[in-house]
Every structure is written in C-alpha cells, then in structure tokens.
Amino acid sequence: MPANLPPEYFEAERRYKEARTPVEKAVALEQLLSTIPKHKGTDRLRGDLRAKLAKLREEAVRQKKAGKGSLYNVEREGAAQLCLVGFANVGKSSLLKGLTNANPVIADYPMTTVMPLSGMMPFEDIQFQLVDLPPIGNDSTDGWVSGILRNADALLLLIDLTDDPGTQAELLIDQLRSWSISLAGKSCQQRTAEGPQRSKRGLLVGTKLDRPGAGEELLRLAETFGETYRVVGVSNLTKENLEELRTAIFEVSEVIRVYSKEPGKEPDYRTPFTIPAGSRVLELAELIHKDFVTNLKYVCIWGSTRFAGQRVQRDYVLRDRDVVEFRL
C-alpha cells in the first residue's frame, strides 16, 4: 500500500466497499480516485482503480440500455437547465446548496462532487434546475462533463475571487472552446446553436466575496470581462448577492412566463407556461395542444398590448407575464 494517503482516502474507500449497485460503486470509486495524491508511489494503485472504474462504467451503460438506471444523465426539469462550471474548491457545491433544495457533499478537499447533482432553484413563480458537476481539469470526468454542458441551456462559470480570478475565467472559457462550446456574450440574442459548435449563454459568478480583497478582485474581473459577460459576485457564507444572482439566472436563461385565461374567467397564475423569449402566439398554441392551432379563431392578450384584452395576430411576439386567452 503506498504511503502518504490522506484521511479522505480511507473514508472514500469505506463508501466504495459499502456501495451495492454499479452506479453507486462508480460514484464512490471516482471520489476515491480524487483523494489519491499523484506521485510514483501511487501510480499502480491509481491504475488498478481506473481499470475497475472502466468496468463499472461499462456495466452501468449496459444497465442503462436495459432501462435499469442512468449514470451520467441529467433529465431536464423546470424552466431551464443551468450547469455550474469551475475548478476545484471554487464553491460550486456550496452555491448549489444555498440556492436550491439539494444537499451536496461540501468539504475543504478537492473533488467532493464526482457525479452530476441537480437541485431546483425557486424564482418568484417558477423554478430553474441547477446542476453541480465535477471540477474542470480532471481526466476521469471531463469527457462526460463536456457532454452535459453541451446539452444545458446556460452555464454559470464560477470564479474564486481569492485566486487570480482573471486567469481562471480565461482558462475556463478556453477549455469550453476546446470542447466546441462558445460562451455567448450578454449582447448576443442567438439561441443555442446545433451541430459541432454549441453557443451557450453564460454568467461569470465570482465566489467568496466575503474574503479580504475579494471586492477589489471582483471589480477587476468586471473591468476585464464585464463588457462581454454579466459578472456577479456572491458569498455563500454571508449570502451576499444571492438574490441578485437569482435574477441574473432568470435573465440569462432568456425564458418568459405566460399565463392562460379561459373566456369569462380569471387568469390562472398558479402554473405559468415557460417559453423562450421571442416566442410567438402560434408557438404557444402548438405547445399547449395541436388542436389550438387548427381551431384557433383569435387571441386576446393582457399585459404587453396597448390595451387589456386586445386581439392580436398569430405572429404576435409574447412578453414576460402576458396573459393569453385563446378563442376556438
């Protein structure tokens, strides 16, 4: 057994031995690998564990195809799916816990997140799905992490304000480019591109704002990147600016809320439809039911129109909090 193994290794080893399913074993084994220091004395151990991990992944994939489970799949929920992207110990798990109902592992040692973990973030009358992922720069996870990022609606790039934040931001953006993912600027209105190159809306989130000197670093980060990307600084410890971040997440997701109304009745404000900004009346009708498109006579709008209940054309562009009444 190689020397100098940290205490975290033995705790992770215990969880691995207690795991039962291939997915559980893979999760525990990835965390076990992350605790092993890299030097010649651990080369053989890391090689053996990687071989076991590869077999567990193959078994998990076979079970997935048989409908028995999913290893690296995050089913989309809520108004939009946003992934947390960053290097080790920038506070991704703490932010997920502070904004959502999730309960991730939070510790001072790196790689506490070894599998995707999602939580639902409430914002007024809707919810957004935030997904915590392993840190960028780990060979054993970067492959499937990049796949999840390519399918997300938007990205939150977390930057540790106490550790050369400008360089971190540049490295993260460059890493995304190497995966054929471009981070769209705040003036870019295009939707996610299909094909080899994906364009993703994104925010730069400076963490650990409560630390000495972090405020000055946030200003420098904003001076460098603020014209292109929206920059928000937060503290998971003091909860500073978390509400501002919720609003920024809503805005970068580029979704709107539309409420339905039956003729002669009050609008239903309990369960809004969430649709991409720029959507038209006809697109909402198609989303609700195909018969709406075929049998639609006219539509009345309350909210963004010049007067309440105004009749509009099928190509009318909806706005956030519009109330729509379909007449069939």
**Residue 254 zone, left/alpha/beta (φ > 0; ψ -120 to 50; rest):** left
| pLDDT at residue 71 in the model | 53
- In this prediction, residue 208 carries a pLDDT of 97
Give domain limits for the chain: 7-65, 81-253, 256-327
For Cα atoms 106, 107, 110, give the angle at the middle one, nearest 5 degrees.
110
- Which ranges of the chain have pLDDT less than 70? 1-3, 23, 60-72, 103-114, 140-141, 186-196
- The architecture (CATH level 2) of 81-253 comes to 3-Layer(aba) Sandwich (3.40)
**Which residues neighbour 97 within 8 Å (Cβ) at sequence distance 6 or greater?**
103, 104, 106, 119, 236
> Whose CA is closest to 41, among 2, 91, 82?
2
pLDDT at 283: 92
For residue 310, which phi and psi values (nearest 5 degrees)?
-70, 135
215-228 residue pLDDT tens: 999 999 999 999 99
Output the CATH code of domain 256-327. Answer: 3.10.20.30
Helix residue ranges per DSSP H, 35-164: 43-65, 92-99, 142-151
Q: Can you give the pLDDT at residue 248? A: 96
Say what the pLDDT of residue 140 is. Answer: 64
Instruction: Phi first, then psi: give them for residue 122, nearest 5 degrees.
Output: -75, 140
304-326, pLDDT tens digit by residue? Answer: 999 999 999 989 999 999 999 98
pLDDT in tens, 13-22: 887 887 777 7
Helix (H) or strand (E) holding 322: strand 322-327
Residue 98 has a pLDDT of 92
pLDDT at site 69: 47
Is there a contact between 184 and 202 (Cβ–Cβ < 8 Å)? yes
In contact, 156 and 249? CB cutoff 8 Å: yes
